[in-house]
């Protein structure tokens, strides 16, 4: 059974279609609503569509004084669509002040959340931190679409299409722990190469792709080691995380986990060069030109994959031109089994929630549509396990 949570948002009417799509897929669906959601769509509508009583109040079930606990034990999956910024914040912080949020806190079922809100609310640092917290706990986030919003603004925040949300819920139901007993190494984020105590060479990698891959491997049953450069993301629960700063530190941290890994996925945007010398004190601005000599950093993936044995090696290729041609070159140069290529010359790629990638192997090149990074991670492991 799927429990569908509906919160107080203008997009609540789309929950009716989501419910119907889940039913057409053979799922029994029950509905829990917040009081504010009832201002947009009445419980009677969901009662008629689902064939079940609709839960709204904490004590609206006379025969069950602790309804939120019994309700939490029923579902195989809890889908909240739409989810407002307020409800997302409550669940992330463990606030339980109504039936929906107490049920979310009490259930052991997988949680799928489809946010919907104003573009500025979606972009707000607090909302993004709450989203990251939920993803770190294993929650699936169906990222909102961009477009014209009910408030008149244009941008990200519109509820994803019902079909996409329903598919995400169904995927959550069928998720298998097909990587039990496997060990996975993932690198993520940027590295920083210090010039002096306050300046460094780096890039705009957020670490989102690597963290999504680590979480996906964890949820499929693998033992995961995540070697992360400096990022502003919470550590995924149930994952061994090693924090590093420089490329040399990342290489050193990867050596032992790589030797034990069945799959190694090098997602980190590692600095190709580092200053030859690091000043012990801050370099003062004196108005003159400054010349800095850079030396190459080791290629972490190529260095380790040169003696990979049976380990499957995946590298990411962030390119701004000749994307596929460069990916094919890296496939050989890094002794990789698969290269995930993406074009970072536009809005997608570093720092974005979604991405558009190609899976490049010696036998084929498969193009994926624009997808959330967690869904790309799922597709990546599906592809690797087929090989």
Catalytic residues: 151
Q: How far apart are the C-alpha atoms of 112 and 115, rounded to whole Å?
A: 10
Cα 170 vs. chain centroid, distance in angstroms? 18
Question: Which DSSP string corresponds to 244-271?
Answer: --SHHHHHHHHHHHHHH-SEEEE--B--
Q: How far apart are the C-alpha atoms of 202 and 342, rounded to whole Å?
A: 19
- By CB atoms closer than 10 A (0-12, 13-18, 19+), residue 186 is buried
Cα 225 vs. chain centroid, distance in angstroms? 17
Q: Is the dihedral of CA 371, 345, 231, 249 positive or negative?
A: positive
Q: How far apart are the C-alpha atoms of 167 and 240, rounded to whole Å?
A: 30
Question: Alpha-carbon dihedral of residues 157, 160, 166, 172, nearest 10 degrees?
Answer: -60
For 231-245, the three-class secondary structure string (H helix, E strand, C coil) is CCCCCCCCCEEEECC
Q: How far apart are the C-alpha atoms of 240 and 226, rounded to whole Å?
A: 6
Among residues 362, 352, 357, 363, the alpha carbon closest in space to that of 376 is found at 357
Q: Report the SS3 class of residue 115.
A: strand
């Amino acid at each position: 059974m799927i429990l569908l949570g509906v919160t107080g948002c203008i997009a609540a009417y789309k929950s009716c279609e989501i419910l119907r799509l889940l039913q057409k897929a053979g799922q029994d669906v029950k509905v829990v609503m917040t009081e504010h959601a009832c201002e947009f769509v009445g419980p009677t509508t969901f009662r008629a569509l689902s064939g079940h009583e609709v839960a709204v109040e904490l004590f609206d079930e006379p025969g069950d004084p602790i309804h939120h606990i019994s309700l939490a034990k029923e579902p195989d999956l809890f889908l909240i669509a739409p989810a407002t910024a307020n409800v997302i914040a409550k669940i992330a912080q463990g606030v339980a002040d109504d039936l929906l949020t107490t049920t979310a806190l009490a259930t052991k079922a997988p949680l799928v959340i489809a946010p919907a809100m104003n573009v500025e609310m979606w972009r707000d640092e607090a909302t993004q931190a709450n989203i990251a917290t939920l993803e770190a706990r294993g929650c699936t986030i169906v990222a909102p679409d961009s477009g014209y919003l009910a408030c008149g603004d244009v941008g990200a925040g519109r509820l994803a299409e019902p079909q996409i949300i329903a598919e995400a819920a169904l995927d959550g139901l069928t998720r298998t722990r097909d990587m039990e007993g496997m060990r996975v190494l993932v690198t993520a984020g940027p590295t920083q190469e210090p010039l002096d105590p306050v300046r460094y060479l780096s890039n705009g990698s957020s670490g989102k792709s690597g963290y999504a891959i680590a979480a996906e491997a964890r949820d499929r049953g693998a033992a995961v080691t995540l070697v992360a450069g400096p990022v502003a993301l919470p550590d995924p629960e149930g994952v061994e995380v090693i924090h590093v700063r420089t490329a040399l530190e990342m290489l050193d941290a990867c050596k032992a986990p790589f030797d034990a890994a069945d799959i190694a996925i090098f997602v980190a945007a590692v600095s190709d060069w580092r200053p030859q010398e690091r000043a012990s004190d801050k370099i003062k601005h004196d108005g003159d030109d400054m010349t800095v000599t850079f030396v190459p950093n080791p290629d972490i993936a190529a260095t380790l994959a040169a003696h990979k044995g049976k380990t499957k090696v995946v590298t990411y290729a962030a390119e701004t031109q000749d994307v596929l041609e460069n990916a094919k070159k890296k496939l050989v140069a890094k002794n990789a089994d698969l290269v995930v290529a993406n074009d970072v010359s536009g809005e997608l790629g570093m720092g974005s929630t979604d991405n558009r990638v190609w899976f490049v192997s010696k036998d084929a090149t498969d193009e994926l549509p624009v997808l959330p990074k967690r869904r790309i991670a799922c597709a990546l492991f599906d592809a690797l396990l087929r090989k």
